[in-house]
A = this chain, B = another copy of it.
């Protein structure tokens, strides 16, 4: 268990705790002496570290490894940095990824319970059976609680997928209240399942990146496979409903050039496409505002996902 967090380190602190190595570079000091220049990260931030005795200590760890570090903190040009006296790689089982990456404000278990509660309140029927089978599958559940909703575009933190889906479920119920001819349970199903493939498209236990499978297939195609596997286990699942669920997953990016080989062909698929877009982009704006809150301008920097600057909020 992690004992010290970067945000709390001040010059003088002695520490023995774990970090993720974000980058590692061998350099030469002006004295000609070689050293390792590391960037260490945990969920609270990033700190630079120096390993002077590097010929002895540089063994068995690389970028993206977790390490147990012993050392102390010094100030260098006004910024704290760690001077390392011992360092060794940790085994994966010593590590809880939530200690090393940004994570959701709300507790994932709590959000997961809320989603589950909503699904259990659905009327009996094949969609309820499917959704519970998916969400309660232990292997899926474990990843579902951890996954970010995207690499960097939106909800890019552990638990982000849960935050996104929970927000969508609430919105979906409101929209179903408003447009009474819509099939509420199909919308609910689409909102829970549309991004499910992200749990295998992204790798998020050592750093956020695409898995090989994710890069070759994408989360839409992966999600279809997960859902189809569950559908096979449900006797008498209606064939037409299966096609519709699959179409919703397939079409949720809305346009071919965004990776959906089909465009939404019925109202519930359309709703899922628009709500997903709305929630993703609002969250992307929120994160941009947070990042640029000290920027001296009426506008943020260019948001790479939205490809535009954003007007910063203020009281009028």
Q: Give chain A's interface residues, CB within 8 Å of chain B.
A: 28, 77, 167, 170-171, 174-175, 177-179, 181, 183, 212-213, 215-218, 220-221, 224-225, 228, 238, 240-241, 243-244, 246-247, 250, 256-263, 265-267, 270-271, 274, 277-278, 281-282, 285-286, 298-299, 306, 308-311, 313-314, 316
Contacts and interface: CB of A to CB of B under 8 A. Distances in A.
B181 A286 contact: yes
A308 to B, nearest CB: 6
Given A247-B217, A271-B282, A310-B265, A212 B240 contact: yes
A240 B299 contact: no
B311 A212 contact: yes
Contacts of A277: 274
Given A215-B265, A216-B247, 20 more contacts: A170-B178, A171-B175, A181-B286, A212-B240, A212-B243, A212-B298, A216-B265, A217-B246, A217-B247, A217-B250, A221-B246, A221-B261, A241-B316, A257-B257, A259-B261, A265-B308, A265-B309, A266-B313, A271-B282, A274-B277
A46 to B, nearest CB: 22
Query: Taking each of A174, A183, A216, which has the highest tally of chain B beta carbons within 10 Å of its own beta carbon?
Result: A216
Contacts of A274: 274, 277-278
Nearest to A167: B178
A82 B202 CA distance: 47
A270 B282 contact: yes
A220 B178 contact: no
A216 B246 contact: yes
Contacts of A224: 221, 224-225
A179 B267 contact: no
Nearest to A251: B216
B278 A240 contact: no
Nearest to A263: B308
A217 to B, nearest CB: 6
